[in-house]
Every structure is written in C-alpha cells, then in structure tokens.
Structure 1
Amino acid sequence: MTQPLLQPEILEVVFSNLDGKSLLKSSRVCSTWKNVVEYMTGVTKVWKQCCEEEIHQDVLTDISTNLYPTLLSSSQEDNTKWRNIYLCWVQWKNIDRWPSIKKEVFTISRRNEFITCMKMSGNCIITGHLYGGIHIWDCSQGYLGFVTMHLKEVTDLGLLYIPGLKFSTERELDVKHNLVISTSLDHTIRVTALCLNAEQVIVLRHHVGPTTSLGVYRSMFVVTGEDDCLSIWKIVAQPKASHVECPVLVYSRLDIDSPVQVVSLWRGKVTGITASNHFYCLKRLHGENINADITGLQKFEEKNCHIVRKYIWRHWICAWLTGHRQMYIAVGQNHASRKYNTMPALLSYPTALLLYGEMFLLGMESGIIYLYLINTPEDLLKLDLDCYKWKQPVSSEPILFMDIAEDNAEPMIVVTAGQKLYYISLQPS
C-alpha cells in the first residue's frame, strides 16, 4: 500500500490557505483529500472564513437567513452549515447548467380566492388571499390547510423564526420559520403561529387605516399603512415557550407629508418609498434599536408617470414598474437610476421583480422568468437584457409573484402566474 505524498497534517495547513472554490475542488481529488477537508469542516472555521471573505455581506445575509434563519444571530457555531451556505452561493452561478422540474401546485377557481401575496418556507408555500384567508401548501402534496383569517384582503406577508418558540400541533410542517406576520385592508397586523388552524394569533390594532406593507428581520418587523403611520415591533420569546408574547412597539411615526408605501427592514435599518416617490430611511443606533432620525429624503421623479408596483431591497436598492411599462432601478445613497424598456430584447414587459443573493429575476407578462447574475448592486444599472443567465417558461399568463427557498439539495423558485401557483425544483449537478 502506497503512502500519500503529503501527510494529512501538512494537507490541513495547505488547505487552510485556499479559497472556498479551491477547497471544494480539493475534496474531489481523492479520498484522503476529501477526509482532510471533512475533518477541517468539523473542527475549524474554514468555511465561515471563506463565506465572510468571498461573499458580499448582503448576499451572505440573503442566503444564510433563507437556508438557516437563526444562524447569524446564534452564538453556537456550526461549520457544516457554513459549508452548505458557500456551496449554495457557488451553485447559483451555474443555474444555466441545472435541469429543472416545473409543477403546478393548484389552480384558483373563484375570484375571491386570488392570491395577493406569497412567501415560501422550507418545502411549504404560504399564500395570502383577496378574501382575507391565509393558507399553506406543500410543494409535493398540494393543499395542506388554513392558517388564519383577516376580515379583508391580505396585503403582505413576512416570515420569522423565533428561537425557543415551539408550538404543539397535530401535524408537523416542513418549514424553517415558526411565525407569519400579515397585514390587511382590515387595518390590523396579525402575528400567527405557522401551523395549520393556528390557535396562537395576536391581532395588533395600532393602525387606523389599512396596513399595506411590511418588512421582517430576525425578531423585528416594520409595518406601514394608508393611515400614514409607520410602526416598528419586536417579538420577545422565553426559552422553550409554547405561546407568542404580544410584540413590543419599538417606534411609531405619523408622517402626513411623506407616507411610506413600501417598506423594508434590513440588518436593523428601515428603508421605504413614499407615496410621493421619496426615499425614506431610519438609521440604527446600536444592536437592533432604531433611531427616530430621518437620514435622507431623496426624490425620484418621472413626469406623467403612474407607478404600478414598487419594490425595495436591502438598504439602498429599489425598483418600480410604471404604467408606461417601463422598469426603473435605483441603487446607492445617491440613488443613481436607470430606465429599462424590456420589449426589444425580451419581447415582453416585466410584471414582477425579485432580488435574491446575486440574482435578479424578471417575471414577465409573457409568463417567462429571466434570471441575471450580478456581482455588485451597481450592476443593476448596467444590465444587458440580452445576456440573461437562465430562462424558464412558466405560464401563458403574466407572472405576479416570485419567491425562492434554499435547500441543500434542491433549491426551489415559487411563482404565481394568473390563477395558478407553480414551483420550479432546481437540481444542481
């Protein structure tokens, strides 16, 4: 039996100086190298170091909170999870090589059941509806059941995982979160256990008008509504608690001059777009406490332009679709922006947008999804629409909503198009 040219102890020193992609390749060379990499994964922080050095912080937050919602806020290190995060980041760059399986989950038969918002957790899809209901679906089994009920249309959904919070339920769901936050035209905010026929429901009546948009991050969520009020809440749970404590109101602001229509909460900073198309930002003091000072009100102007949908991601990235079927994207604190006309390149107009990790997805009126890879947020201002990384025909009807769920083996994209809900299972090679 021949001895390896390099002893495992020497290989470990060499491998500790490699980048993540080289480390992945090294693990495929031979069984000895593979065993050394697996040993390093178990006892060192090599993969966490690769993630922090090679992946942009916002991209890392996107992937890690999707794959492991509590990882960044946990004091316990799990090196295997960091390796999986790095692997997911690398795999998305090769999406054009993956086979995919498209499946229709269900078709909506009645108008009052139309989907108005949608989120995904694990293998399950959570949908808010025009009539006020919130339902949950399994990508493999289809409809699972009812979660909770608003009196009027559900306008937005957010998912949270609160460590230590465990609900007793007759049926375990394949989800990564344990709470769903919802807003509605009935003026309320609901905090509901993410389970079938949830008995744990807290109804917040802080707003005097319809609540229309929300953002979530860790144990906090921010809500805005048509009453020109913006409110920020924090959920505190005791270890091994079986019920939800009433969220604490951290901050509330009434702004009649610049009411916020679309809001985001990202790493403790609140950003939003106002009805007059100003950019709204609240700064972080320390930890997860929010400062009440407005740090910037910048205005985006386009004459004679009706805005159909607005999006905001992370700190300083926003987009909007206009009645003239144009797409605008603004990036950075100076809000450099660009207008796109997608018709010449894609033969259709965008009806839904999604920014996730280093991917920008366009859901089109034609029912097709186009995916573009970006290295920096500024790349959104110089997209070559002809050079998409991946294209997926979904439906003959317009794309309305999109969401992504990470999984170690098969990430999924969920799509609402017309009156149908689809999921696309991607299979990295």
Structure 2
Amino acid sequence: MMFPLEILEIILSKCDGKTLLNARKSCTDLRGIVDYLAEKTRLWEWCCREEIPNEQLVEYLPKYEGCGKEKWLNMYINWYSWEKIEKLTILEPVRCPLNLSKISCVAVSSHHIAIGSEDGRLKIFTQHWRPFFEHRIVAVKITNLTFIGYNDYCSDDLNDLDMCLVVAFPNGLSIFAFKDSQSFKIDIDGIKSHSVFRNYICYEKVGGRLTIIKISNLIDRRRVQEIWFARVYSPSWITCYKMWNGTCTFLINTTIKSLSYDTPTITPLEEMQKVTDLWFYAPLMINSSVTKIYRDNVIINVYKNNVTTWSPHRDIMEDYIEIVILDKETHFSKKLFNMLEIFKCNITCIFLYGNLLLIGTDCGELYYYHISNWKNIDLKQYNHRQIVGRHPIIAIAVKEFEKERRFYVSSRFAIHEVAGFMPNVYP
C-alpha cells in the first residue's frame, strides 16, 4: 500500500458505512483494516445509529439479539441491501415442508415460528420447522400472535425465558412463557383488541376500559403489573391504537392522542395528550373500513366500497387505501389510492417493517415498496412484484438472518419463505 496503515485507519474511521462496505470488498488489506477497527471500536454501531433512521432501528435491534459481536455489521448490511432494492436478489418463494391448513396468523422470533389456526390450535416450531409445542387454546379462531421481546431492552426476568408469546382470540388473550421443559400460562378475558411492544401490552376491554400492563416475571410469581388505565365513555369510540417505542398512539373517533407509557413517573390515571384532529374520506366508508396505526406517525385506512351506481360492474368491491402521515407538530398529510385500478385485485394484508412496505392481495401477489419518504410514496410505483402461491395472502412475518432478510408469507393453506440479499456485499 502507498499509505501507512495508521493513516488508512484514521481515514477509514471517518468514513460512512457504505464507504466501509466498499472498502471491505475491494481488497484483503482494506478488509483487514476495517475489521480491525470494528474489533477495537464500536465502528458499525456508530454507522447504524447515524445512518439508519431511529424508527427502523427500533425494529431491527430485537431481531439481532442473538447475533453476537457482529450484529451491528450484519444489521447494517441487511439494511443497506434493502435500501438498494432495485439491485437486490429476491429469491423465489419456498413453501414450508409441513402440511398446514386453516392458518389464521403467523409470528416469527429468533428461534421459533408460531402458527395459529381458525379452529383455535396453536403450533410452535423451531426455525428449522421441528415441532416444539402444540395446544388447543379455545374452539375459536386465533386472531393474532406476538412474541414478547426478551433482549437487552427487557427486564432480566424475561431474559431468563426461552420464549414468551401472546395469543389473541375473540374476547381474550393468553400469555405463554417457556423455560426449559416447563410452560406457564396467563389468561385475560373480555378483551376486544390489543397492541404489544416488547414486554408491554395495551388492551381494550368491553365497556371502553383501556389498560397497559408490563410483563415482568412469569415463572416464580407470574406477575403482570398494571401501570396505566383509562376509560373512554360513549359516545366516543376507540378506532385503533398502537404501542411503539415508549409511546402509545390512540385514534379515538377523529382525534389522535398519545401516552408515554415507559416513563418512571407515569401514574395509573395519567391523561392522554391530544395530538391533532383528522378526518378520513367519509363517502368511502359506506360499506366497511379497516384502520391501523403503524409505528406512531402513519395511519393506513383500507376502505371496501361498491363502485358507483353508473358503473356497469355494480357488484365489484373496490379497495381504497388512505395513508395519513403525521408530523411532529399538529399537521398531517393524506394520500388516497384506488387499489383496484392499480393492482386489478383486492388487498388482504399490509405489512410494514424497517424500510419496507409489503402489500399482499387476494390473488397471491406480493408488492414491495421501499419507504424513503412517506410523503413521496406512490403505490403505483412498486419496486418489486412477486407471485406467492394462488391464494389470498393473510399474514406476513419477518426474521433477520446473518446474510439475508426472510419473510414468512402465509395463506390459509401454506407458508412460503421469501429471502432477499445483495450479491457481493459479503466478500
């Protein structure tokens, strides 16, 4: 080399992550210097925290809790790969080796895959699809599954667990915890809806009572700590809510409110703070609508409505997506798309993870969108389209591997694994 090693070390230590990746794959000597700097300093952690937006980093960190010392390098590479989705290699869907039926929901953690069914059966597998646990919850549909995060950001009590899973069904929740060969279960009845973030759960009971609980110990004392509650009285009604990174965002009627739930000063009767008022496109809500809050600043409303009376196809149901983007103040912007015009089919699943938005349809097609700026998003300009089976996509889950990001795309009859990675990033 023309430069002394000390000079190269100083230069590389001042570079961004993309430059460091290019240096690693350019030659053996530069790779050695970059890896030496990464070993002696928190080089890749600095790159992740400076370049990856915080709302994405919050989602990535729990996925890498078992990746050891190179978790920051692997996290940056996977994030950077999906930033360049046009150059990304997205493999063909691979069907899981098991014969499944009546699937209603799916969840994935670092080491396990959980599958719920329409007849109330819960099946948990290892990441290699070996049976781990099976149980009949109730004789009704399991509506949602969520792994409670147990990583550096949760209590030591949860770090001792092998796995913790929240199972939702109509009018109730079950919390399963596993330690060695033992399992523990807590039931909460009378629940209409819920939201989970790490080891916090917010749920709404019949009558408008909202409660936030913290899971702190499920083995010795089976403790569930109630940290906040409130009641929303008629004629107000709760449209949806979302827990995210210390803040719970509520949409009550047409008012956005928020609550910081993980502060040490929170009291059980802490009042929600009003953020802003917003209005959806009311004429489209004649038939039905599904509203969800993603993170704490994006609201997506999916309307299903008959076409206008003058149309020759009056029986066709149209899907409209209205995206509401909240800013840090009290303002918001909205975008409205007719999905039947764009996709020629209806939407059955929307999944947001990191820098990627995935939309599944009733004909088994999956559309990928890179989210660089919500205000500039145009659903007509998708980055990648993929056919996953022939049945409606009902659920999507994600897991980060060392050299790829893998999505688990589910219909009622099968689960397909879709992996993506950027060639030549790993020299």
The answer to whether TM tops 0.5 is: yes
Partner of 1:366: 363
Distance 2:178 2:251 in 1: 29
**In the alignment, does 2:15 pair up with 1:38?**
no
Q: Which runs of 5+ in 1 are unaligned?
A: 72-77, 170-176
Q: For residue 15 of structure 1, what is the aligned residue in structure 2?
A: 12
CA displacement at 1:372 relative to structure 2: 0.8
Partner of 1:116: 104
User: How far, CA to CA, are the matches of 2:257 and 2:181 in structure 1?
Assistant: 37
Deviation at 1:261, TM superposition (A): 4.6
Change (3 A) 1:153 1:259: farther
Q: Any idea what the Cα deviations from partners look like across 1:344-388, whole Å, max 9, x if unmatched?
A: 332222211111111111111221101011213333xx3151x22
Q: 1:51 aligns with which of 35, 48, 51?
A: 48
CA 1:265–1:288 in 2, change beyond 3 Å: closer, same or farther? farther
Partner Cα distance (1:165, 1:126) in 2: 22
Instruction: Tell me which residue corresponds to 2:191.
Output: 210
Post-superposition CA distance 1:132-189 (Å, at most 9, x none): 33222346436544156246432322212335457999xxxxxxx721122322x333
**For 2:183 and 2:124, how far apart are their aligned partners in 1?**
15
Residue 278 of structure 1, CA deviation: 4.4
Aligned counterpart, 2:200 = 220
Q: Is the partner of 1:180 in helix, strand or coil?
A: strand
Q: In 1, are the aligned partners of 2:200 and 2:215 still within 8 Å (CA)? A: yes
1:180 pairs, out of 161, 165, 176, with 165
- The answer as to 2:82 corresponding to 1:87 is no
Q: What's the CA shift for 1:233?
A: 0.9
The answer (yes or no) to whether the contact 1:212–1:261 under 8 Å persists in 2 is no
Query: Which of the residues 344, 348, 351 maps onto 1:351?
Result: 348
Cα RMSD, aligned residues only? 3.0
- The correspondence for 1:338, drawn from 317, 320, 335, is 335
Q: Deviations over 1:277-296 (max 9, x none)?
A: 54342235735947432323
Aligned partner (choices 410, 413, 422) of residue 416 of structure 2: 422
For the 8 Å contact 1:363–1:399, the answer to whether it is kept is yes
Distance in 2 between the 1:155 and 1:262 partners? 16
Taking only the aligned residue pairs, the percentage that are identical comes to 18
User: C-alpha offsets along residues 42-73 of structure 1, whole Å, 9 cap, x if unaligned?
Assistant: 1212212211221111011122222338x9xx
Distance change (3 Å), C-alpha of 1:360 and 1:322: same
Counterpart in 1 of 2:400? 406
Q: Is 1:149 the equivalent of 2:146?
A: no
- Rounded to whole Å, the distance in 2 between the matches of 1:144 and 1:368 is 31
Note the alpha carbon deviations across 1:296-324, whole angstroms, 9 max, x for none: 36343313514343322111211121112
- In structure 2, the CA distance between the partners of 1:287 and 1:63, relative to structure 1 (3 Å rule), is farther
CA distance in 1, matches of 2:215, 2:265: 12
Q: Does structure 1 retain, via aligned residues, the 8 Å contact 2:124–2:134?
A: yes
Letter matched to residue 349 of structure 2:
A
TM-score w.r.t. the length of structure 2 is 0.83
The answer to whether the aligner puts 1:127 opposite 2:108 as a matched pair is no
Q: Is structure 2 residue 285 aligned with structure 1 residue 294?
A: no
- The Cα shift of 1:89 comes to 0.7
Q: Which runs of 5+ in 2 are unaligned?
A: 306-318
C-alpha displacement of 1:194: 5.0
User: Separation in 2 of the partners of 1:367 and 1:142?
Assistant: 26
Distance 2:24 2:366 in 1: 34
Residues 230/120 of structure 1: CA separation in 2 closer, same or farther (3 Å cut): same
Q: 1:229 aligns with which of 197, 203, 209?
A: 209
Aligned to 2:309: none
Report the count of equivalent residues. 396
Asked if residue 100 in structure 1 is aligned to residue 87 in structure 2, the reply is: no
Map of 2:238 onto structure 1: 260
TM-score, normalization: structure 1?
Answer: 0.82
Residue 227 of structure 2 aligns with an amino acid whose one-letter code is V
The SS at the match of 2:119 is coil
Is this contact kept in 2: 1:183–1:211, CA < 8 A? no
**What is the alpha-carbon distance in structure 2 between the residues aligned to residue 141 and residue 299 of structure 1?**
45
Which structure ranks higher in relative contact order (CA pairs < 8 Å, sequence separation ≥ 6)?
2
**1:128: how far off?**
2.5
2: distance between equivalents of 1:384 and 1:278? 26
